[in-house]
Chain A
């Protein structure tokens, strides 16, 4: 056949393809040059730990982004799961208990309750998008406000009245405080496990392949006998479960929770995905890209703070990275 594109990656193509990653690596290099102390074990450990929870949120978002969707309520769901778990996992001796009369129930109970609540939210998001044909941006934007409202109502109950929740039991905090292998937090290993499972699901199962098909061309998928609505709803539920799980880990890490938890986490997650090559138009994106995106993003946030860049400038730089990533994505994938 004529016009078969030859497989030739010139240096120019390579640079174009990896432009953003190259620039970001250059930024990291400059951070290291300005402050060589950046390259120390303590910093690397911190970055790994900080990346862990972000990675789980980003992988969650990946499921919806692959469908060409998004979930703006993701961050607020992190917060809701965190507050629910925290409210039921306080030590008996803590002064301001959320449920003063609650006995020491097994930690698994609040965990399951929190996950179940966010799963219902994910199901609602999925129904809005799949059945009511709402644009994911708007549907989840509405849900974002609703979830925050629920969260605020919940935490404002008597006797708590909106106070931050503290005094989390060892049964939960051990997830973060346990150190393995050269003092790396258990959180890092949990994130690695989640990453592997998500990779398996997306690449090795029918459901995963259907996600790529629906994200790539929903009409073709429907004609091919893929239950498009089911795939969309399932993706939103999985995303919510992952995001809720991240919220629980956040409680373990910080030893508490308040209604502001998780705020704007979805934006960091979407940014990391985009930097990692996930297309916002759906159908394109790899787990490995998300991992790289999250780590690079964390290094840069951490690094900019480390060398003392004004926090307002940090915001501007992050914003520029996101815009460049999307611009490159459009250039790369906007063919026909």
Chain B
């Protein structure tokens, strides 16, 4: 028998109505980076939560170095050397690093917390990892990547043998991601094992040694990273042949200008300035750039969610001012926000109610704003059919839908408003591979029908594959524009780092 650092066998876990894990196995070698991939709902996070003691599996065993262990809660997981860096880091904002790292196990001198000792240990820990952060810094003053570094330090402080990283790079810039990867390699060389969960397949090929694919709560297989291609992985994940990642474009974009943005400058001095661009009828206009290049701020300002200092908007040749979202909608704008959960879905309402949030007014009668049930039901049903939303019924609560279907509902919400300019911020974030393709198809159809689409995305393949024209932002400025035909990854990256000074390039 081979020696595995971590071995999971026959693990099953059911939630009401869902078999989240179905006889899953996992064999992880010591001192490797092991990626786990799968669509949303494939059971990756459930599996990790079982390993970390957050969930109790219905059956199955966990063994470390051949010894079976019982993980009843996070404490026993940590005692056994399993540590987890969470998807959404939640430090205690008004405590400093020392307290955040040692919380729950403060050093003590009699009855008193031994601040000196903790400080010494923290300094050692941070120095050991080459983190140049003062241990007295409050957690709220750290950037996401610094927080992550602190979380990793914390994991090491538990002497974790196995570190689980769930979507660790989802909010990191490229430089920060590189930094994280350096760190991961270092941890690996120290003999630690990393379980790496990510939606970004490109990343996995860069960092992982082995990859395990899960689908529908089942174990599909494990491969050495050199033995698979990205397309094969996608096929294993979706369980069917997915020939192309992007739908064909079979129409011409017209020259007619729908939206003209001139001299747009944010009221926030640290944000964007002097932005000029035009979007044509039937065009998908991609905006790329690193995290922090103020793309979201720009489009949210166009939509009236943020204040501008100067600049003008023209839609179909008519000057408009979007002082708030109500006006923006009236002027023919629509915005699918970046954070589906935070500012997209209304979880406790039904699919029907979620579809109609923007357009209730449109279907209302009279002064009271009376809305007929038969009308809204029909509208919701039509939307679901048109966008192929897979839901048990329009009366299902939206939170019970998968990420991809939620996203389609939100797209449908905006289509009802019949916008001229549809702005999509990270349209496929947290959406699984199969549903991604469907969203791309919808985007193509909308463009073909004559809508102007602005897409902000951090995914390079999406930016290159979907945009008719690309605008790349860097440090709040427009670094340059590229046509679809001559846009390459290198070209985009060059523009994305155009204004970054050497000095603030390092984290």
Taking a contact as CB atoms under 8 Å apart, the answer to whether A206 and B360 are in contact is: yes
Contacts A5-B18, A206-B360, A225-B358 given: A219-B369 contact, CB under 8 Å?
A: no
Q: In the assembly, what is the distance between CA of A210 and CA of B305, in Å?
A: 18
CB distance from B338 to the nearest CB of A (A): 11
Taking a contact as CB atoms closer than 8 A, the residue among B39, B335, B349, B368 that contacts A213 in the complex is B349
**Contacts from B to A (Cβ < 8 Å):** 16-18, 20, 39, 41-42, 216-217, 303, 305, 324-326, 328-329, 335, 337, 341-349, 353, 356-358, 360-361, 364, 368-371, 373, 390, 392, 399-402, 404-405, 413, 417
Contact residue among B39, B343, B404 (Cβ-Cβ distance under 8 Å from A223): B343
Question: Is A213 a contact partner of B371 (Cβ separation < 8 A)?
Answer: no
Q: Which residues of A contact B (CB under 8 A)?
A: 1-8, 13, 201, 204-207, 209-210, 212-213, 216-217, 219-227, 279, 283-284, 333, 335-336
A213 engages B216 (CB within 8 Å): no
25 contacts between A and B (CB under 8 A): A2-B42, A3-B41, A3-B216, A4-B17, A4-B390, A4-B400, A5-B18, A6-B17, A8-B17, A205-B364, A206-B369, A207-B369, A210-B360, A212-B353, A217-B345, A219-B343, A220-B342, A220-B344, A222-B343, A224-B357, A224-B413, A225-B328, A225-B358, A279-B348, A333-B348
Q: Contact check, A216 vs B348: say whether CB atoms are below 8 A apart.
A: yes
Contact A206:B402 (CB < 8 A) given known A3-B41, A220-B357, A225-B326: no
B370 and A205 form a contact (CB under 8 A): yes
Residues of B within 8 A of A216 (CB): 346-349
Given contacts A223-B325, A223-B337, A224-B357, contact A1 B347 (CB under 8 A): no
B441 to chain A, nearest CB (A): 16
Query: Which residues from chain B contact A206 at a C-beta distance below 8 Å?
Result: 360-361, 364, 369, 371
Q: How far is the CB of A6 from chain B (nearest CB, A)?
A: 4
**Chain A residues in 8 Å Cβ range of B17:** 4-8
CA distance A335 to B108 in the complex (A): 37
Query: Is the CB–CB distance between A217 and B346 below 8 Å?
Result: yes
B346 and A220 contact, CB distance less than 8 A: yes
Residues of chain A within 8 A (CB-CB) of B368 are 201, 205
Q: Name the CB-closest residue of A to B330.
A: A225
Partner of B400, one of A5, A8, A13, A284: A5
Interface core residue of A201, A221, A224, A336 (most chain B CB under 10 Å): A224
6 nearest CB pairs, A to B: A5-B17, A216-B346, A206-B369, A219-B343, A225-B329, A217-B346
**In the docked arrangement, what's the CA distance between A207 and B348, Å?**
18
Q: Tell me if A1 and B326 are in contact (CB < 8 A).
A: no
Chain A: which residue is nearest B368 at the CB level?
A: A205
Contacts of A13 in B (CB 8 A): 16
Q: Which residues of A contact B328 (CB under 8 A)?
A: 225
The answer to whether B325 touches A2 (Cβ under 8 A) is no
Residue of A nearest to B435 (CB): A1
Which chain A residues lie closer than 8 Å to B399 at the CB level? 335-336
CB distance from A66 to the nearest CB of B (A): 11
Contact A222–B325 (Cβ < 8 Å): yes
- A225–B357 alpha-carbon span in the complex (Å): 8
Give the distance in Å from the alpha carbon of A336 to the alpha carbon of B340 in the complex: 13
A135 to chain B, nearest CB (A): 18
Taking CB atoms, residues of chain A closer than 8 Å to B326 are 225-227
CA distance A225 to B347 in the complex (A): 18
- Please, how many angstroms separate the alpha-carbon atoms of A1 and B216 in the complex? 9
Q: Which of A1, A220, A227 contacts B405 (CB 8 A)?
A: A1
In the complex, the chain B residue whose C-beta lies closest to that of A7 is B392
Roughly how many angstroms separate A143 CA and B95 CA in the complex, as a whole number? 33
Interface contact B358-A224, CB-CB below 8 Å = yes
Q: Does A205 lie within 8 Å of B349, measured CB to CB?
A: no
Query: Chain B residues with Cβ under 8 A from A333's Cβ?
Result: 348
* Given A222-B325, A223-B305, A335-B399, 11 other A-B residues pairs in contact with their CB atoms under 8 A: A2-B402, A7-B392, A205-B368, A206-B360, A206-B364, A216-B348, A220-B357, A222-B305, A223-B325, A224-B325, A225-B325
Q: Which residues of A contact B404 (CB under 8 A)?
A: 1
Rounded to whole Å, the gap between the CB of B449 and the closest CB of chain A is 22
Does A1 lie within 8 Å of B370, measured CB to CB?
Answer: no
Which residues of B have CB within 8 Å of A209?
A: 353, 356-357, 360, 371
A3-B402, A220-B345, A283-B348 known; A226-B369 Cβ under 8 A: no
Q: For the complex, give the distance between the alpha carbons of A204 and B353 in Å.
A: 12
Most buried by B among A4, A201, A207, A226: A4
**Do the beta carbons of B41 and A2 come within 8 Å of each other?**
yes
Find out whether the CB atom of B346 lies under 8 angstroms from the CB atom of A213: yes
* Interface contact B348-A213, CB-CB below 8 Å: no
CB of B436 to closest CB in A, whole Å: 13
Check A212/B349 contact, CB under 8 A, given A4-B392, A206-B364.
yes
Contacts of B390 in A (CB 8 A): 1, 4
Distance between Cα atoms of A13 and B324 in the complex (Å): 44
Is A219 in contact with B342, judged by CB distance below 8 angstroms? yes
Residues on A with C-beta less than 8 A from B346 are 212-213, 216-217, 220-221, 283
Instruction: Give B405's nearest chain A residue, CB to CB.
Output: A1
Closest beta carbon of chain B to A285's beta carbon, Å: 10
Whole-angstrom distance between the alpha carbons of A279 and B397 in the complex? 16
Q: A333 vs B397: C-alpha distance in the bound complex, in angstroms?
A: 12
Q: Which residue of B lies closest to A226 (CB)?
A: B357
State in angstroms the CA–CA spacing of A196 and B238 once bound together. 50
**Across the interface, which residues of A come within 8 angstroms of B356, CB to CB?**
209
B contact residues around A220 at 8 Å (CB): 337, 342-346, 357
* Shortest Cβ distance from A219 into B: residue: B343
Give A5's nearest chain B residue, CB to CB.
B17
A199 to chain B, nearest CB (A): 13
> Residue on B with the closest CB to A10?
B16
- Residues of B close to A223: CB separation below 8 A: 303, 305, 325, 335, 337, 343-344
Residues from chain B with Cβ under 8 Å of A5 in the complex: 16-18, 392, 400
Contacts A217-B343, A225-B326, A225-B329 hold; do A1 and B349 have CB atoms under 8 A apart? no
Q: Which A residues are CB-close (under 8 A) to B335?
A: 223
Minimum CB distance partner of B356 in chain A: A209
* A1 to B409 alpha-carbon distance, docked (Å): 14
Contacting A336 at CB < 8 Å: which of B347, B364, B371?
B347
Cα-based distance from A217 to B313 in the complex (angstroms): 29
Task: Give Cα distance in the complex from A1 to B373, angstroms.
Answer: 28
In angstroms, Cα B367 to Cα A206, docked, is 10
Q: With a CB–CB cut-off of 8 A, which chain B residues contact A4?
A: 17-18, 390, 392, 400
Q: Which residue of A lies closest to B328 (CB)?
A: A225
Q: Please give, as numbers and ranges, the residues of chain B lying within 8 Å of A225 by CB-CB distance.
A: 325-326, 328-329, 358, 417
